[in-house]
Structure 1
Amino acid sequence: MQSMTLQEIAQAVDGTLTFGGEIRVDEISTDTRKIRGGSLYLALKGERFDGHDFISKAIEAGARAVVSDRPVECSCPVIQVPDTRLALGTLAAYYRQKFSLLTVGVTGSVGKTSTKEMIAAVLAQGFCVHKTQGNFNNDIGLPMTLFGLEPQHTAAVIEMGMSALGEISYLSQLAKPDLAVITNVGVSHLENLGSRENILKAKLEILDGMSPNSKIVLNADNDMLQSVRDSLGERAVWFGIEQKDGFVFAEHIEEDGDKTRFDFVCGGERYPAMVPAVGIHNVYNALAGFTVGMFSGIAPEKIVAAIGEYQNSGLRQSVREYDGIKVIADCYNASPDSMQSALSVIRTISCSGKRYAVLGDMLELGECSGEMHYKVGKLAAKAGLSGLLCYGEEAKQIARGALEAGFDLTESCTSLQEAVNWLHRVLRPGDAVILKASRGMHLESVIESAFEKAGGQ
């Protein structure tokens, strides 16, 4: 982060500074465990904590100044504001405006992070790229992402998540995207939003921080996005696989071992491409990356090369081998759409042995949860598996769906240790297994206990 004076910060957030206006800070911190010298500690209040309780600790750790929503007696300067969370966003928006750079906003029910990573890889062919790290995509994480901007950056890829209406509108107005991408509209957060129509409305809020002439990149194969084709008009840029009337589409899709080969077709030209991952969802991610790259002036040959070197990050369908067993970790989030993608991956991934799946609860589905888990079970029954373990209370409906579809190689459990025991019992060298559930189910702990602690490579 470029340094700013306390006086500048106080003016930006309309706060009252006690003293020390010329003091400079070069980092904003909301976590006392990560404070270093030169930091401004911003005390946030959450449901289970109050950062104001840790102000003394922040100063001891080296914080140069504090942002608070109440008077504070301390030896360092204090900027007092009505609401520290809003001040964080206001300051991030102010800091963002210091930079002239191409900014791409990414949202969607499924595939936000993978698409963000692919777009960043593509833009790196012609820009110095800053991107959202991890899951910093909410009203705290996105401002912290913006504070990571430096003078050398010429592009930023900013992920935006939400769980309620109004959230993406706020984030978009902080980031001010030049281009936006909506990967799809599914059923994630249905519990909070009530309908897919409301989910669509929430995703389209990404337009609120954009100029009227800016473009939004959309998946033409998604039924909900198609419903706004007429209203968006020429503002929308479409990609697809089934729909071939947009800016770019993919065809001749073939899975080759752990890779997916296909052709981009754009403007009458054909560009053979490869993604080093399996699953049709990765082709959609690549189409979004191709579209953003083309509209950003990257040559198509460079786009194809960047996509060919793409790597999944974190807990999102990373593939590792432990003692000859191929393990696909997809433990970050889960919805019916991403479950279907996961089953497609395990059905087609290359292995010399058998294929298995551990499917856990999909959270935040509201009243439709039972029905949606049941439908996933029906899909799992057709995925060519040699065994299915359903982990969690909601996942019992996955088991019911699979069993009623005639797949009797189905078991259920409610503890992580039971899942570990099942994996040890059924897996043999040459086999492949995918583990998929919402982040709150902590399936990565199963992988750690079953494989990593056992000394696999």
Structure 2
Amino acid sequence: MISCNLGQLADALNAKLCLSNGDSDLITIESVSTDTRNIKDNGLFIALIGERFDAHDFVQQAIDNGAKALLVERELAVQVPQLVVGDTKLALGQLGAWVHAQCNTPTVAITGSCGKTTVKEMVAAILSQKGQVLFTNGNFNNDIGVPLTLLRSTPEDDYAVIEMGANHIGEIAYTTQLAKPDVAVVNNVAAAHLEGFGSIDGVKQAKGEIYQGLSSGETAIVNLDSQGDAYWQQVLADKKVVTFALENTQADIFASNIKLSSAGYASFTLNAFGNQLRVQLGIVGGHNVSNALSACALALSMGADLEEVASGLSQVANVKGRVEVKSLTDSITLIDDSYNASVPAMLAAVDLLGEFKGQRWLVLGNMAELGKESLALHQQVGEHAAPFKFEHVLTYGNDAKVISQVNNGKHFTSHDEMTMYIEQLLSSSADETHTILVKGANSAGMFKIANALKENFS
């Protein structure tokens, strides 16, 4: 974060500045936190109000932990300076946008139904070869996480790569106006968060909001394999549109000669604006070819060249819980993809497991926020898996049960029972090769299965 004083912040936020005896509006602020346990030097604590909490009740803890000032919605009886605003959540966004604007950093914005975190990591890996990159940590991609990411901006940043998620219409419109990107992409559109969006058309509308943050003439990256149709036409009319697709040669950027190694690593020929280069991905999964093309389009639009793209893509590391491949023993490989799940990500996971030999374990938990379409979409995953004839199909969660039913698998109502079953069969067939893929929504808790296997077999 850039260093600023309370007077500057009060002006930027149009806030009322309340000073205690002896305080000055020139007090320096060098960090911001919304967590009382994570107050850094010269820190400002922002008291957010949620459905189940009011951080105003805990400001004394923030002060005890070193907060130099507070951002609050009402003046409190405490002995530190306070910036009083009407809504601390909106003020957090304003503050993030203000700090980021002071740094004037060329910015990439990424959204999509799935793969956006992987694309973010890919773009950051490519651009880091050219300079210093600010990028989203973990899943800080919502209306709280994006402002916190922007607050980390410094003048030394050469690029910013901002991931934007949403579970309702209007959220990305808000965060993209804060970031004001130079280049933006909707990585794909699929059935995800349907409870909040209402339908696939709602998803198209919501994801397309990211292009609203682009000024006229700036670059919009569009996936020809997954478009927003009429929902995006008006907003894209005055933008420079760059297209990518998996194998559609009409796109500006596409792949050809795709190959998958026995360990699941993809390589392909990258075709970009008439130029070609062979690319080897550093993470597993054929579905990541499309993510790589998206990252390529973004990075090229930010000034990278093809050699930098290929080098960066080869160096991308696995993100914890996202297609994380780990050899538990000489004969047991775990593919931990337990972080989250959408329909296209589930289908891609099934395809990935199908590339392996030996005993193949498809271990799936519920997908979440699919509304009234949930059971039918789980059925779709089950039917997609059926032709592979996996040796073991295990499920957890009410709607996921249909997947094991379609595949003559086994359903469980507790993580412990599922873990015990897997471990017993692995122990009784130690002379065989096993590949275990674990995936599900965060709410399904499939990370518990993955973590137990790592602990018991590593």
Relative to the length of structure 1, the TM-score reads 0.94
1:70/1:230 Cα in 2 relative to 1: closer, same or farther (>3 Å)? closer
Structure 1 residue aligned with 2:325: 319
Q: Tell whether the 8 Å contact from 1:111 to 1:183 is kept in structure 2 after alignment.
A: yes
Residue 94 (structure 2) aligns with: 90
Q: 1:321 corresponds to which letter in structure 2?
A: S
Displacement of 1:448 in angstroms is: 1.7
1:247 correspondence with 2:246: no
Distance 1:304 1:56 in 2: 50
Q: Could you tell me how far apart the structure 1 residues matched to 2:366 and 2:157 are?
A: 40
- Distance change (3 Å), C-alpha of 1:425 and 1:445: same
* Equivalent-residue separation in structure 2 for 1:397 and 1:95 (angstroms): 49
Aligned twin of 1:73: 77
Instruction: Output the CA distance in 1 between the equivalents of 2:53 and 2:29.
Output: 25
The alignment status of 1:431 with 2:437, answered yes or no, reads no
Deviation at 1:225, TM superposition (A): 3.3
Contact 1:125–1:303, Cα closer than 8 Å, also in 2: no
Aligned residues of 1:229 and 1:236 also touching (Cα < 8 A): no
Distance in 2 of aligned mates of 1:92 and 1:355 = 46
Match of 1:358 in 2: 363
Q: Distance in 2 between matches of 1:268 and 1:141?
A: 38
Letter of the 2:420 counterpart = N
Are residue 341 (structure 1) and residue 348 (structure 2) matched?
yes
Partner of 1:187: 191
Separation in 2, partners of 1:101, 1:196? 34
Deviation at 1:293, TM superposition (A): 2.0
Q: How many angstroms apart in 2 are the aligned matches of 1:277 and 1:64?
A: 43
Whether 2:6 is the aligned partner of 1:6: answer yes
Letter in 1 for 2:11: Q
Q: In the alignment, what sits opposite 2:416?
A: 417
CA offset digits 1:149-187 (Å, max 9, x no partner): 122111000000001111000000100100001110001
Distance of 1:421 and 1:236 partners within structure 2: 52
Residue 412 of structure 1: how far off its partner (Å): 0.2
CA contact (8 A) 1:40 1:63 kept: yes
Give the Cα separation in 2 of the matches to 1:236 and 1:299.
19
Which residue of structure 1 lines up, in the alignment, with residue 220 of structure 2? 216
Mapping of 1:7-26 within 5 angstroms? 7-19=7-19, 20-26=24-30
Q: Distance in 2 between matches of 1:22 and 1:8?
A: 8
Q: Which residue of 2 aligns with 1:129?
A: 133
1:138 and 2:137 correspond: no
Unaligned runs of 5+ in 2: none
Q: CA deviation at 1:101?
A: 1.8
Shift of residue 422, structure 1, vs aligned partner: 2.1
User: Could you tell me how far apart the structure 2 residues matched to 1:58 and 1:111 are?
Assistant: 36
| Aligned-pair CA distance for 1:226 | 5.2
Residue 67 of structure 2 is aligned to residue 63 of structure 1: yes
Q: 2:310 aligns with which of 304, 310, 334?
A: 304
SS of alignment partner, residue 103 of structure 2: coil
Matching residue within 334, 337, 342 for 1:330: 337
Please list, as runs of the form range in 1=range in 2, the aligned pairs for 1:113-128 lying within 5 A after superposition.
113-128=117-132
SS at match of 1:277: strand
TM-score normalised to the size of structure 2?
0.94
- Cα deviation, 1:373-427, whole Å, max 9, x if unaligned, reads 1111111212341110011111112223x2xxxx32x000121101101211333
Cα displacement (A) at 1:242: 3.5
**Deviation string for 1:122-172 (max 9, x for gaps)?**
111212111000000011111110111122111000000001111000000
State how far apart, in whole Å, the 2-side matches of 1:127 and 1:44 are. 34
Distance 2:44 2:302 in 1: 35
Per-residue deviation at 1:90?
0.7
Q: Distance in 2 between matches of 1:344 and 1:273?
A: 21
List, as ranges, runs of 4+ consecutive aligned residues in structure 1 with deviation greater than 4 Å. 226-231
Question: How far has the Cα of 1:229 moved from its partner?
Answer: 7.4
Q: 1:225 to 1:242 in 2, by over 3 A?
A: farther
* Match 1:273 to one of 279, 286, 306: 279
For 1:23 and 1:236, the matched residues in 2 are separated by 46
Contact 2:338 2:450 in 1 (8 A): no
Q: In the aligned structure 1, how far is the partner of 2:190 from the partner of 2:67?
A: 43
| Letter of the structure 1 residue corresponding to residue 412 of structure 2 | C
**The residue matched to 1:380 in structure 2 has which SS?**
helix
* Superposed counterparts of 1:24-35, under 5 Å: 24-35=28-39
Contact 1:100 1:154 in 2 (8 A): no
Equivalent residue, structure 2, for 1:236: 241
Unaligned 5+ runs, structure 1: none
CA-CA distance at 1:214 after TM superposition? 0.9
